[in-house]
Amino acid sequence: MSDNQFIKLRKEKLAKIRALGIDPYPVESGRSHKIADLFEDRESWVERAESVTLAGRLVAMRRQGKLGFGNLEDDSGKIQLYVSKNETGEENYELFKLCDAGDFVEATGSPFFTNSGEYSLRCSRIRLLGKNIRPLPAVKERVEDGKTIRYDEFADIELRYRKRYLDLLLNPEHRKVFKLRSRIIREMRSYLNERDYMEVETPILQPLYGGANARPFVTHHNTLDVDLYLRIAVELYLKRLIVGGYERVYEIGKNFRNEGMDRTHNPEFTMLESYEAYSDLRGMMDLVEGMVKHLAKNVIGKDEYVYQGHKVNLMGEWRRAGMAELVQEKLGVDVLNESDEALIALCKKHELEIPPGSGKGKIIAVLFEHFVEHSLIQPTFVCDFPKEISPLAKAKPGNPLLADRFELIIAGGEFANAFSELNDPLDQRARLEAQAALRAMGDDEANVVDEDFLEALEYGMPPMGGQGIGVDRLVMLLTENDSIKEVILFPQMKPGI
């Protein structure tokens, strides 16, 4: 971007500062206290009149002749600076006059109360730490009845996402969202660590991708001269680790799916997957429910959340119900015992598309997604998924059509997915080969056959439960944001501007 009037002026100021023999970008900075420190027992600070040095960004300036006020902000808080020529001396006051909102400065002085009663720092010296040459958007705020009213808020959604640093700087409530995100993830880790899980890191660049139905991003390694895929899931690698003898592992990291983008999908997103030997689907329900309730209670401290226009109570008893049972509730059709023809006719009647190669299970899933999923508002474990669409899940004993799998649905959206993991190597091979057949029929999201994974299974894998939680969506729910872009610091945007 070329220089505008503002930048030209500030570059001129830079030159003036340098002409005074002052380095506007010094190497050394130092502070004796953070701003929040001065707000503990203010009266005592004032009484002691101790000199302290603060450092931070100057976020506002009110200059009036031989004295001026500024607001200094660091990551702990904000305090008013009182700068008068009497106290700083001529030379230092000249520097202060060359400072702008947006500059980083060091302020030395002692706390006091102004005539109007505002707790401030009476400055004996101002030192420049980093000169700003592009003015920050002008946002003004006023405190009324303890509430902060902001004027001319930096609110353009596109700019907020593209220039996230400005969003964070100018909109404290957005800064708070990402702080909560960090706490949520930290608390997830400790929840699992306390349960004897081990955190691991597995490849992001994979020779084959697997563990989910999705199209991948492809890249190329020059030295090996091979194409590699960015992972769409970590499942198959974590299972290899269970084969290797660890009993409880998890990974929190980015997955990449080359699919559409909307309010709940970003091409790279954060997933938590965990696997636990000798557990099963029931164990995973307890784990997921326990963890989410723990986060709601300990990080946020609320029972009820407003999400996508719905009131969701996370602290109640979470329903566990079969997919077919839920469809039957809604449509009055006993889908498990109905003939394929009748189900196909039902789909046709509602103009629902059935992908080629679909069996009964897939058709039931289509009906579920169309008629039921959106209406599940309170947390619901939808169990007994059709085996046909669950190639990595163990079959449900007693019903060859079903798999021991659930998805957690909240406010009509998917939050987690879990199985009793399939550990029969022959069955697993047959299922992946069936996926390959679907792929041959044009389903480019079907799983690929991963021979190395199958070989690992052949060496023996214990029975286990595994689950994956979409971390971004969980953060959305807990921070009551309806767009995934509000909880990802740098969401994917088209190049532009």
Could you list the residues that contact RNA (CB under 7 A)?
A: 4-6, 9, 60-67, 69, 80, 82, 84-86, 100-101, 114-118, 120, 135, 137-143, 151-159, 161, 212-214, 257, 259-260, 262-263, 265, 352-353, 355, 369, 407, 414, 417, 445, 482-483, 485, 493-497
Q: How far is the CB of 453 from RNA (least distance, A)?
A: 19
Q: Which residues contact 449 (CB under 8 A, 6 or more apart)?
A: 429, 432, 433, 435, 436
Q: How far is the CB of 195 from RNA (least distance, A)?
A: 25
Of the two residues 22 and 67, which places its CB atom closer to RNA in the complex?
67
Q: How far is the CB of 138 from RNA (least distance, A)?
A: 3
Of the two residues 69 and 246, which places its CB atom closer to RNA in the complex?
69
Q: How far is the CB of 424 from RNA (least distance, A)?
A: 22
Q: How far is the CB of 84 from RNA (least distance, A)?
A: 4
Of the two residues 315 and 437, which places its CB atom closer to RNA in the complex?
437
Of the two residues 299 and 491, which places its CB atom closer to RNA in the complex?
491
Neighbours of 80 (CB within 10 A): 15
Q: How far is the CB of 388 from RNA (least distance, A)?
A: 13
Quote the CA–CA distance of 121 and 110 in Å, as a whole number. 5
Q: How far is the CB of 31 from RNA (least distance, A)?
A: 22
Quote the CA–CA distance of 345 and 322 in Å, as a whole number. 23
Q: Under a CB-based contact definition with an 8 Å cutoff, are residues 124 and 51 in contact?
A: yes
Quote the CA–CA distance of 270 and 252 in Å, as a whole number. 7
Name the β-bridge partners of 271: 253, 470
Residue recorded with tokens 């970003």:
266
Q: Under a CB-based contact definition with an 8 Å cutoff, are residues 434 and 493 in contact?
A: no
Of the two residues 356 and 398, which places its CB atom closer to RNA in the complex?
356
Among residues 92, 93, 57, which one has the least CA distance to residue 72? Answer: 57
Of the two residues 162 and 183, which places its CB atom closer to RNA in the complex?
162
Q: How far is the CB of 214 from RNA (least distance, A)?
A: 5
Angle between helical axes of 281-295 and 471-479 (0-180°, round to 10): 40
Of the two residues 120 and 197, which places its CB atom closer to RNA in the complex?
120
Quote the CA–CA distance of 384 and 404 in Å, as a whole number. 6
Q: Under a CB-based contact definition with an 8 Å cutoff, are residues 89 and 121 in contact?
A: no
Neighbours of 394 (CB within 10 A): 23
List helix spans (H) across 379-481: 425-440, 451-458, 471-479
Q: How far is the CB of 18 from RNA (least distance, A)?
A: 17
Of the two residues 60 and 346, which places its CB atom closer to RNA in the complex?
60
Of the two residues 70 and 248, which places its CB atom closer to RNA in the complex?
70
Quote the CA–CA distance of 169 and 138 in Å, as a whole number. 12
Provide the pairing of β-strand 218-221 with 380-383.
unpaired
Structure tokens at 318: 């979470």
